[in-house]
Structure 1
Amino acid sequence: MARVLMATSYDEQFPADNILSQPTREFWMSTGVYPQEILIQLTPAKSVRSIRFVSTKVRQIVVEGSEGPHLGNFVKIGETEIGDSRDLQRETVEINSTKVFQYVKFVIASGWNDFVSIHSLRFE
């Protein structure tokens, strides 16, 4: 199970919790400054092979993980660049680690527009 602990942007109409729900018509929207971060707690801690997500106007994603029960000591475990599209972006970030993570930071380093949205996020 995963839960959103924090996001750098907040809009009550588009809360960060939407990224973990179905369907993709509910989403989280940024407020237009980069980088944007979403902090997720994995309960129980688990090994993550990849993260599948649906977004709009995202350009660069960096994923960081933290092993321990306390926040801190995040290390980069994956990243991807995404081309511009008028449609929903359906992408996967491959994770370059076999470690078990309690916390994952999903960092939107840049976008193709001032605002981006994340419609879903799944850990595999």
Structure 2
Amino acid sequence: MRWGRVGGAGSAAALRKGPRVGLRSLAAKLRRTRRRGLQERFSFIVTLHLHIGLCPVTTRSRRKIKHFKMKKTDLCLSSEGAEVILATSSDEKHPPENMIDGNPDTFWTTTGMFPQEFIICFHKHVRIERLVIQSYFVRTLRIEKSTSKEPVDFEPWIERDLVHTEGQLQNEEIMARDGHATYLRFIIISAFDHFASVHSVSAEGTAVSNLS
């Protein structure tokens, strides 16, 4: 990390005006640097687990998702028109779009502090029968849904406490009731670590009608 030059008339004037402000600014920089370092380490560990085979559930999940995609449409795929329109965290290496790209080796990661959330827009009215969420370190997950044309009027739908799976992905399968929606909001209320990741969100179901 580069530090600016200390000294000079400007620095002396700043110290005379308020040394405490300078110390608070320095402390804030150190906290931001530490958060970035922890997040990068978390992303590296998750990626390493995927590539050296410490996530055996990934292979099984790929087969499972391919199986039901042949029978039903995965409404959450970006190729089906779904879009992540909001996410409270965004890392350029692990953006929110990774959750719906159909690639199990990519993921979205939070940037610390909870709750964290993201909203998926289907751009149509859909009926969801089953959800499959692959994640890492997520403790409590709440899902809300809306049938409005805009991302408003969300109502509670599903809430789950996930099991901590050391060294492998969490694979949460949910059979949905009253699954009519135009938007889904996923809220990660708490996690087992400072950071959490979501690798894929799949929604088995059918498109009902276009938004009009």
Alignment-derived partner of residue 77 in structure 1? 157
Of the three residues 40, 50, 60, the one matched with 2:140 is: 60
Q: How does 1:109-120 map to 2 (within 5 A)?
A: 109-120=189-200
Alignment-derived partner of residue 84 in structure 2? 4
CA drift at 1:85:
1.3
Q: Does 1:47 align with 2:117?
A: no
CA drift at 1:13:
0.5
TM-score, normalised relative to structure 1: 0.92
Q: Whose helix fraction is larger, Structure 1's or Structure 2's? A: 2
Whole-Å Cα distance in 2 between the matches of residues 96 and 30 of structure 1?
28
Which consecutive residues of structure 1, in runs of 5 or more, have no partner in the other structure? none
After TM superposition, the structure 1 stretch with the greater mean CA deviation from structure 2, 44-53 or 105-114, is 44-53
Whole-Å Cα distance in 1 between the matches of residues 143 and 101 of structure 2?
20
Kept after mapping to 2: 8 A contact 1:79/1:94: no
CA deviation digits over 1:38-60, x for unaligned, max 9? Answer: 11001322011222011100111
CA deviation digits over 1:17-53, x for unaligned, max 9? Answer: 0000132111000011111111100132201122201
Alignment-derived partner of residue 89 in structure 1? 170
SS in 1 for 2:163: coil
Alignment-derived partner of residue 202 in structure 2? 122
After TM superposition, the structure 1 stretch with the greater mean CA deviation from structure 2, 86-95 or 19-28, is 86-95
Kept after mapping to 2: 8 A contact 1:78/1:96: no
Superposed CA RMSD in Å reads: 1.2
Question: Higher Cα Rg: structure 1 or 2?
Answer: 2
Kept after mapping to 2: 8 A contact 1:7/1:39: yes
Whole-Å Cα distance in 1 between the matches of residues 174 and 156 of structure 2?
12
Q: Does 1:16 align with 2:96?
A: yes
Whole-Å Cα distance in 2 between the matches of residues 112 and 95 of structure 1?
25
Whole-Å Cα distance in 1 between the matches of residues 144 and 91 of structure 2?
24
Q: Which amino acid is the alignment partner of residue 94 of structure 1?
A: M
CA drift at 1:97:
1.9
